Structure formats: structure tokens, C-alpha cells
Amino acid sequence: MKPIAMITGATSGIGLACAEKFHKAGYRVIITGRNVAKLNELKDKWGEDAYPLIFDVRDRDIAIMAIKSLPPTWQEIDVLINNAGLALGLDPEFAGDYTDWDTMIDTNIKGLLTVTREVVPGMIARGKGHIINIGSVAGDAAYANGNVYCATKAAVKAITDGLRIDVAHTPLRVTLLKPGLVETNFSNVRFHGDDERADNVYKGIKPLVGDDIADAALYAAQATAHVQIAEMLILATHQANGSVIVRS
């Protein structure tokens, strides 16, 4: 039986790249998200190797129901990739939008916790599993006007480190991937659909793409059983950290 990978936020960006990469590597993939059309497109493309779950990680009750609804042949998840996340706004903390704050906290932190809480007990019971959380370089140090987003990604790091401690007595592995500048729809979402402002984020530098992060996730998942890739910081060549980017 092929191993199973579950990817949250699998309809675009890093999540979609992970779904494609793991499917190509021989995994069956549980693909989750809110974009019904994209999930169905992937299901049509991959057939019996894909199982779509339609839910928003912010809605805890619906997320729990969706995960519990998995048929027996899809319940033994080998790799969980907690990818669903977003940034909204780029304002000083004293001028931030309350709704943006709630959405980031509910998605990036609480949504990740809900999915982890529902999937990891099964991994422990089976004595195998790998949790890969998508953090960010933004979790290492705050940058100007990044305040709440940076805080959520710092929380992802702490939550990941804590989980690794909590399962150290088991064969489970826990990995944190911390991407830098990745060209996806991330900036378009952050700027609420302002394409010009989003495009300016990537001008003058060759950024990472979703496949680069998916490669890192697959590398960690395919490491020999006694090797745990605890944390990986992945930056574009001309990015030094969350705030230092050299543009041509």
C-alpha cells in the first residue's frame, strides 16, 4: 500500500507544490482546502491516489468532522504537512486591522493546532509518522510592519519544537521548514488583491518558488528513519534574513 501524505492548503502555492511532489514520489495524497474546483481538478487528475477534504482550518468543528470522515483506507496518514497559512496587511501594529489579525491567528496557529491534534494520535498509536510544519523566516525575527504575522510564525516554531519534545519517546519525526521569499499568491493575498503591490515584492531578485519548499519537505520525509530534519531555513540566494534582501 502506498504511503499517505495529508497537505493542508493544497490548492495553491507551497501546498499545491507539496501535493504534486509527494504524489509524483508515490504517495497517495489527502488534499485539503476551500477551493472546491481546484480540489476536484486534482482529484480528476490523480484519481484513486487523491482524496479531497473541503474545509477551512479556521472552523474547528468542520475541520474535525472532515478529518474524522476519512474512510478507513485513508486514515493511516504517514506524513502531515501543515501548510495552510497566510499574511494579511503590512501596517504598523498600532494601525492594524482586527479582522486581519484574527484571520492570521485562527489560520496560522489555531488551524495548525486543530489538524495536528486530530492526526497525530493515530500516528502515535501506529508507531510511525512525520509532521512537517511550514513556518517562515519571519518567525525568527520581526520585520517592519510584519508584527502579527511574524508573531504567528514564531508561534509555529514554538509549537513545532514543543511537539518534537512531546513525541521524542516515539518513532515520530517533526520538521519545521522556514521559507524566505517565495513567489506564490502569498503577497497578492497579503495586499488583498493588489497585483501591482504584490508584484513589487519580487522585483529585482530571483525568489524561491513552491517547488523549492516541496523539495525540502520531500527530502525530510524520505530521510532514513533514524534521521530527523528538525528545522530548515530556506532562502533565496540574495536574501540574508527576513528583512535583508539585495535587489538588482
Read off the CATH number of the domain in which 166 is found: 3.40.50.720
Determine phi and psi for 90, rounding to 5 degrees.
-145, 65
242 C-beta neighbours (distance < 10 Å), count: 22
Measured between alpha carbons, how far apart are the two ends of the chain, in Å? 49
Q: Is residue 166 part of a domain?
A: yes
pLDDT in the model for residue 1: 86
Instruction: Tally the domains of the chain.
Output: 1
Q: Is residue 240 part of a domain?
A: no
pLDDT in the model for residue 23: 98
Q: Is the pLDDT of residue 2 over 90?
A: yes
Q: Is residue 79 part of a domain?
A: yes
Query: Which residues in 126-148 are b (16+ Cβ under 10 Å) and which e?
Result: eebbbbbbbbbbbbbebbeebbb
Residue located via cell numbers 524520505: 222
Nearest to 66 by CA among 16, 114, 17: 114
Find the mean pLDDT for residues 169-183: 98
Q: Please, what is the average pLDDT of the chain?
A: 97
Tell me the whole-structure pTM to 2 decimals: 0.97
pLDDT in the model for residue 22: 98
What percent of the chain shows pLDDT beyond 90? 96
Q: Is the pLDDT of residue 136 over 90?
A: yes
What percent of the chain shows pLDDT beyond 70? 100
Q: Is residue 242 part of a domain?
A: no
Residue 204 confidence class, pLDDT cut points 50, 70, 90: very high
Looking at residue 137, what DSSP letter applies?
G
Q: Is 149 one of the annotated active-site residues of the chain?
A: yes
pLDDT in the model for residue 97: 97
Q: Is residue 245 part of a domain?
A: no
Residue 104 confidence class, pLDDT cut points 50, 70, 90: very high
Residue located via cell numbers 532562502: 235
193 C-beta neighbours (distance < 10 Å), count: 10
Find the mean pLDDT for residues 75-94: 97
Residue 159 Cα distances to 105, 135, 156, 164, angstroms: 13, 10, 5, 9
How many CA atoms does the CB half-sphere of 114 hold within 13 Å? 23
Q: Is the pLDDT of residue 63 over 90?
A: yes
Q: Is residue 246 part of a domain?
A: no
Return all residues near 112 (Cβ < 8 A) that are at least 6 apart.
8, 57, 82, 84, 85, 133, 156, 159
Q: Is the pLDDT of residue 147 over 90?
A: yes
Domain of 148, in residue numbers: 4-234
Measured distance CA(71)–CA(155) in Å, rounded: 32
Which one from 27, 51, 143, 149 is the annotated catalytic residue? Answer: 149
Find the mean pLDDT for residues 29-39: 97
Residue 8 confidence class, pLDDT cut points 50, 70, 90: very high
Find the mean pLDDT for residues 114-129: 98
Q: Is residue 11 part of a domain?
A: yes
Looking at residue 4, what DSSP letter applies?
E
Residue located via cell numbers 510592519: 145
Q: Is residue 223 part of a domain?
A: yes
Find the mean pLDDT for residues 63-92: 98
> What are 201's three cell numbers?
515584492
Measured distance CA(134)–CA(15) in Å, rounded: 9
pLDDT in the model for residue 150: 98
